[in-house]
């Protein structure tokens, strides 16, 4: 399932594509609204590679106790990777 493209409408700053790359995932977590998070959730459930990318993005932010969005997604990803 690697290389799948997901249809979602969030336009990412500084990105010229709409794939779930590390930068796009970071943008969805940091700036996304509920529909964007729902799209990311569907992608995570459909493709383990996206799930691993979410965990990788979140690891870079969890040292900040105020980065609650990243803490949420980190716990979510760990739950499904277990």
Segment 40-71, tens digit of pLDDT:
999 999 999 999 999 999 999 999 999 999 99
DSSP-based three-state secondary structure for 22: helix
pLDDT (0 to 100) of residue 51:
95
Query: What would the pLDDT profile of 4-25 be if each residue is shown by its tens digit?
Result: 455 545 555 544 445 889 999 9
In this structure, how many other beta carbons lie within 10 angstroms of the beta carbon of residue 58? Answer: 23
Name which of 55, 52, 61, 25 is nearest 40 in CA terms: 25
Whole-angstrom distance, CA of residue 59 vs CA of residue 49: 15
Give the pLDDT score at 77.
95
The pTM of the full predicted model, rounded to 2 decimals, is: 0.78
- State the pLDDT at residue 15: 46
């Amino acid at each position: 399932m690697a290389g799948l493209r997901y249809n979602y409408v969030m336009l990412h700053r500084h990105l010229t594509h709409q794939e779930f790359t590390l930068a796009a995932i970071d943008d969805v977590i940091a700036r996304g609204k509920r529909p964007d998070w729902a799209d990311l959730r569907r992608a995570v459930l459909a493709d383990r590679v996206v799930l691993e990318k979410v965990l990788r993005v979140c690891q870079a932010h969890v040292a900040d106790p105020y980065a609650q969005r990243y803490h949420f997604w980190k716990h979510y990803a760990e739950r499904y990777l277990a």
